[in-house]
Amino acid sequence: GNSVTQMEGPVTLSEEAFLTINCTYTATGYPSLFWYVQYPGEGLQLLLKATKADDKGSNKGFEATYRKETTSFHLEKGSVQVSDSAVYFCALANNNNDMRFGAGTRLTVKP
């Protein structure tokens, strides 16, 4: 079945450091891939998405490229800020009623 495996946390970085959170997936068909973020005290919200191979999703300085050949969707940001501290979830879906989430990676950015 469909599943997502993401890098275990927690991840602690200094402000302006480069961020990578790895995500790989197993799926039938051609799923869409997502990164959701959960800031402290808030609900999950969509950060970015990609719907087909080689698409790059981007938002708020974060990027992820849908790599079919490596079944990956790694999240990157060139220079993190304290306000990026949150839990990040990789997810995939063949359709809306089958969205599967990874376990989440907690990021803490220190000033």
Handedness of CA 97, 1, 24, 4 (dihedral sign): positive
Q: Give the total residue count for the chain.
A: 111
Which string of x and - marks every residue 13-52 that binds other proteins (by CB under 8 A)?
------------------xx-x-x----xxxxxx--x-x-
Beta bridge partners, 24, equal 5, 72
Task: Determine contact, residues 39/104, Cβ cutoff 8 Å.
Answer: no
Helix (H, G, I), strand (E, B) or coil at 3: strand
Between 1 and 111, CB nearer to other proteins: 1
Which string of x and - marks every residue 57-86 that binds other proteins (by CB under 8 A)?
------------------------------
Under rule CB under 8 A, residue 95 binds other proteins:
yes
Under rule CB under 8 A, residue 94 binds other proteins:
yes
